[in-house]
A and B are shown apart, each in its own frame.
Chain A
């Protein structure tokens, strides 16, 4: 058991080192692909705290992701805030918005919870699209410059390779933080709630409140991912708030395996790579994604990583 854990840690370390040196050996184009995988992977992993670990399907997480993108974009545009502080603000903003939305949503369960998250997500999208004077309407926020990082670090963030490496470090740290939460006593309570909330309540846990905690943490990490996304795409657009954006972390978690911590990252890689590869010869990439997803759900129900780990441990 611990030998396997060591093996996985070593494998992850090798992958991280390879990713760090990616700009040195891969074509320029792949830096963008890798950055997108990392950012959306963090978004999906944050989402999966609610979905895979707490057992609640949210279809409104784009609200937190997009909100994080707007927070960083606006702070950079209006105040030339160092990026580090803008990202912290995105993290806090995502968590705060999740607190407000979650306050209402966790009162409901199952499909009603899902519908309410979807409804709130649509509301946030509408606000961003219609409050033109503040949010730039359907154009979103553009024309902001990424200046300094802050914290005494002198980084040339305008260089995509540097921004990519910064993204790698932040996503790794945030991922580690999320991982610690999943293996904590708190994480155990979440996993237990996913399976049987009533039994958990009868051990003395106020289940609704713990659902909210999970939702807020999840929203915060989604917000951080959004904050990283805006400088990467040079825009905070209402599309990042659209409900179709909320579907992405769901698909990624399922593709990679929602019962595993790294599943959403693997799912993000599958998703982005498939998109990149298929769109290079056809516009109808959604059709192919649909086929892949259908096959996965039918034959690899626990996702790619989930199924692989099952095979390794020979677990039924």
Chain B
């Protein structure tokens, strides 16, 4: 196809300043359709800020975020979600008071344009129920559908987050440290799961991650940020060998508090 070389998402000199501090300084990246890209960097490198600007959680000071060629920088989260970019959060962000199925249904109701149905009974909408259960099954959560989410284990909540993201059928799946706080087995399961998901559909994954095992086990391309700038980009092995990257990570300790 002719569009093969056009990135699905790119940023152009994306910048965020907080008063005198430049958290993200003119970062330009490109994501190609269907690839798994990891964004890494020491604490305080600006990756969370960058990530938040792409997903609409923060408004950039300057620069562009191009999704399918049109600028979405500064648009509110709901518009970016509707355009086809779904994201999860580093801190578990599920609805504890709702059932597991209802958690997924929140996203489905929104995605299917049913959110203004005031006099339909949610429990009687078979399509919403079937679709929610299918998504839960893809993540192995189907047996928990009726449980109140607050009773789930931490690992299952993280999976449920992923289910909520998938429910809006995003083209780009942004996962903010999807394995944070998980045991090594759970982490491996998540890696496997993300691989399987990508095999099912041409999702583009854009992941931030601390765990290097995840980064090198999963990512096809790695972006390294340091002090608000893009330090390196390339295949995991290239990046690992990059002397500048090594220096940035070794110097990490002193900069831990500079978030």
CA distance in complex: A213, B93 (Å): 24
Q: Which residue of A lies closest to B102 (CB)?
A: A188
Binds A, one of B109-117, B198-206, B224-232: B109-117
Q: How large is the interface on A (under 10, 10 to 19, 20 to 34, 35 or more residues)?
A: 20 to 34
| B86 at the A interface (CB under 8 A) | yes
Binds A, one of B76-84, B188-196, B246-254: B76-84
Q: Which residue of B lies closest to A180 (CB)?
A: B119
Tell which of A187, A189, A191, A210 has the most Cβ of chain B within 10 Å. A189
**Is the beta-carbon distance between A199 and B78 smaller than 8 angstroms?**
no
| A162 at the B interface (CB under 8 A) | no
A261 to chain B, nearest CB (A): 14
Q: Which residue of B lies closest to A191 (CB)?
A: B98
CA distance in complex: A203, B120 (Å): 20
Within 8 A of B (CB), among A170-190: 177, 180-181, 183-189
For A213-244 the 0/1 string (1 means CB < 8 A from B) is 10001000000000000000000000000000
The answer to whether A204 and B82 touch (CB under 8 A), given A189-B110, A210-B115, is yes
CA distance in complex: A194, B102 (Å): 14
Tell which of A184, A188, A198, A217 has the most Cβ of chain B within 10 Å. A188
CA distance in complex: A217, B119 (Å): 13
Q: Out of A177, A180, A198, A200, name the residue touching B106 (CB < 8 Å).
A: A200
**Is the beta-carbon distance between B123 and A183 smaller than 8 angstroms?**
yes
For A262-298 the 0/1 string (1 means CB < 8 A from B) is 0000000000000000000000000000000000000
| A201 at the B interface (CB under 8 A) | yes
A179 to chain B, nearest CB (A): 10
**Is the beta-carbon distance between B114 and A185 smaller than 8 angstroms?**
yes
Across-interface contacts of A206 in B (CB, < 8 A): 76, 78
For B39-58 the 0/1 string (1 means CB < 8 A from A) is 00000000000000001110
| B258 at the A interface (CB under 8 A) | no
The answer to whether A183 and B118 touch (CB under 8 A), given A200-B106, A201-B81, A204-B110, is no
**Is the beta-carbon distance between B115 and A196 smaller than 8 angstroms?**
no
**Is the beta-carbon distance between A195 and B95 smaller than 8 angstroms?**
yes
Across-interface contacts of B164 in A (CB, < 8 A): 199, 203
B256 to chain A, nearest CB (A): 26
B201 to chain A, nearest CB (A): 18
**Is the beta-carbon distance between B93 and A185 smaller than 8 angstroms?**
no
Determine chain A's interface SS by DSSP, over half rule. helix
Across-interface contacts of A186 in B (CB, < 8 A): 115-118
Across-interface contacts of B82 in A (CB, < 8 A): 204
| B2 at the A interface (CB under 8 A) | no
| B242 at the A interface (CB under 8 A) | no
Q: Which residue of A lies closest to B84 (CB)?
A: A204
Q: Out of B81, B94, B115, B168, name the residue touching A189 (CB < 8 Å).
A: B115
| B180 at the A interface (CB under 8 A) | no
| A207 at the B interface (CB under 8 A) | yes
Across-interface contacts of B38 in A (CB, < 8 A): none
Q: Out of B95, B105, B118, B128, name the residue touching A199 (CB < 8 Å).
A: B95
**Is the beta-carbon distance between A315 and B119 smaller than 8 angstroms?**
no
Tell which of B78, B98, B102, B121 has the most Cβ of chain A within 10 Å. B78
| A202 at the B interface (CB under 8 A) | yes
Q: Which residue of A lies closest to B85 (CB)?
A: A202
| A192 at the B interface (CB under 8 A) | yes
Across-interface contacts of A184 in B (CB, < 8 A): 117-122
**Is the beta-carbon distance between B128 and A185 smaller than 8 angstroms?**
yes
Instruction: Please name 10 further chain A to chain B contacts, defined as beta carbons within 8 Å, in addition to the given A181-B119, A186-B116, A204-B81, sorted by A numbering.
Output: A185-B120, A196-B95, A199-B164, A201-B76, A202-B86, A203-B78, A203-B81, A203-B110, A204-B107, A210-B115
> 3 closest A-B pairs (Cβ-Cβ)?
A204-B81, A203-B107, A201-B77
Q: List 25 A-B contacts (CB under 8 A).
A: A183-B122, A183-B123, A184-B119, A185-B109, A185-B115, A185-B122, A187-B122, A188-B105, A188-B109, A189-B110, A189-B115, A191-B97, A191-B98, A198-B77, A199-B93, A201-B81, A202-B81, A202-B86, A203-B86, A203-B106, A203-B164, A203-B167, A204-B78, A204-B81, A210-B115
